[in-house]
Amino acid sequence: MTFIAASGAAIEIQAAVGCSVMQLAREHDLGIEGTCDGSLACATCHVIVEPAQIARLAPASAEEEEMLDLVPGLQPTSRLGCQIRLTDELDGLVVRLP
Ligand code: FES
């Protein structure tokens, strides 16, 4: 998958299936905190999915939507990185770092 930094730089990372976008960003020091370790209690794992790719993801749960409401700079394709688990089907996913 690929992360796009705030500077516009693309960072392509080989990810294991089952890893979350939040875990991957943390492992590579991309500035994602993920303070609650994926328990939907912090919203510090905010990422912005490339609009052309948002349909590849399952819709956000009600709990995820509630946490997203707390995110500064919310975008129409904002998601919580801890809720995106990588699968073979998501190969090549692109998300922006806020
Ligand atoms: Fe806390 Fe995602 S890591 S909501």
User: pTM here?
Assistant: 0.95
Cβ atoms < 10 Å from Cβ of 92: 10
Does the Cβ of 36 fall within 6 Å of ligand 1?
Answer: yes
CB 15 within 8 A of CB 1: yes
Distance CA 44, CA 80 (A): 8
**In testing the pocket of ligand 1, which one of 32, 71, 80, 95 has its CB within 8 Å of the most ligand atoms?**
80
What is the tens place of the pLDDT at every residue in 16-60?
A: 999 999 999 999 999 999 999 999 999 999 999 999 999 999 999
The DSSP element (H or E) to which 10 belongs, if any, is strand 10-12
- What residues make up the domain containing 23? 2-96
Does the Cβ of 82 fall within 6 Å of ligand 1?
Answer: yes
Q: How many domains does the chain have?
A: 1
Q: What is the pairing mode between strands 10-12 and 46-49?
A: unpaired
CATH code of the domain covering residue 86? 3.10.20.30
